[in-house]
Structure formats: C-alpha cells, structure tokens
Amino acid sequence: MSRTWTTPLQLHELARGPVKVRLEPDAAERGKLAGDLGLESLPSLVAELTVRPWHDGAEITGRFQAVVEQLCSVTLEPFEQTLSGEIARQAAPKGSPYAPAEDPEGGEKNPEAPDPPDVLESEAVDLAAIVAEHLALEIDPFPRKPDAAFEFASPPEEESPFAMLKKLKDQKP
C-alpha cells in the first residue's frame, strides 16, 4: 500500500480522551488509492473514526462507506458498487509490553484468536492506512455486475489423431 494518503494521529493527542475523526480523501488521493487497490476509480470514500487511548497505544473503531468502480469479471464493463465496513483495530508502539512478540520461527497462528495489535513504527497511528486496508479487504476480487450472466459454451470437440488414423485405416480396401 502506498503512502499517498496519510492521516497520522500522534498518541499524545489521546491524553485528554477519545478523538473523533472524519476522513474524506480528495479526488487526487482517491485516484492514487484506486490505482493502489486495482480499481478503475474511487468516486467516494468517507470514514468516521473514534480513537481512544488503549494501554500505551490506541484503539481505533468506526465505519467507512465507499463507492468503487471496477471492471465486471464477466462482461469487462465498468460498474460502480457501494461498499461499507466496520473498523476495529488496536495499535501499540514498538517495544510496548502490549505489542505482539515476533515469532522467529513463524509458527502457526490460531485463526479463531483475535487479531493482535498493530505495532507502530513511531508515536503516531496512520488512520488513513487503516481505512485503506479495511477497504481493500471489502473489495471483491472477481466483481460481477448485478445483471451479468456467464454463459459457458464448450468448445467443439476435436477429433483425436488416433480417431483420424482409424478412419484412414477403415477406408483402405
């Protein structure tokens, strides 16, 4: 994911309590984000977030709403669809006792376990990156227009070389 759209929030800004943030990238930022996500375009994207202190990091919750334009995987025609999603994420600074320890062996993780907090590289959390990641997870990799129908017609069967030889053999007197 590129860093064309960033909205950092410093952790010290949470000292007074929760911060409400509305994110709405401009047309240029939406265009770059659309390219990063493999979309034809991103006509709109709005996120309403609440960022609360969480241990020595932050807890980010909220919703996003977007209109994405993709190519139909059946007809290859562009079409728009509305996507929305919930955001619930925690982040802790690097070195925090709440940051997940790195597993040097890359052991298996329990898919039923809650996601561990993100590890921040600095004392700021990039809210735009979190919204972009959640949007990317909602995008259908094989989009289909609502009225598109795939009609499969099997190719005509080719005669095998052995069947052709048999015909030639049968024709000889």
H/E stretch holding 82: strand 78-93
Helix, strand or coil for residue 62? strand
Among 111, 100, 124, CA closest to 12: 124
pLDDT for 114 equals: 80
pLDDT for 117 equals: 92
pLDDT for 106 equals: 61
pLDDT in tens, the chain (173 residues): 456 799 999 999 999 999 999 999 999 999 999 999 999 999 999 999 999 999 999 999 999 999 999 999 989 999 999 999 999 999 999 988 988 877 656 667 778 878 889 999 999 999 999 999 999 999 999 999 988 787 777 777 777 888 788 888 888 66
pTM of the entire structure?
Answer: 0.80
pLDDT for 126 equals: 96
pLDDT for 172 equals: 65
Q: How far is CA 84 from CA 44, 51, 63, 107, 131, in A?
A: 11, 19, 7, 33, 11
pLDDT for 20 equals: 97
pLDDT for 161 equals: 83
Distance CA 173, CA 170 (A): 8
pLDDT for 152 equals: 76
pLDDT for 64 equals: 98
Residue keyed to tokens 């709403």: 65
Q: Where are the domains of the chain?
A: 8-171
pLDDT for 107 equals: 62
Q: What is the CB-side half-sphere exposure of residue 59 using CA atoms within 13 A?
A: 10
Are 55 and 117 in contact, with CB atoms under 8 Å apart?
Answer: no
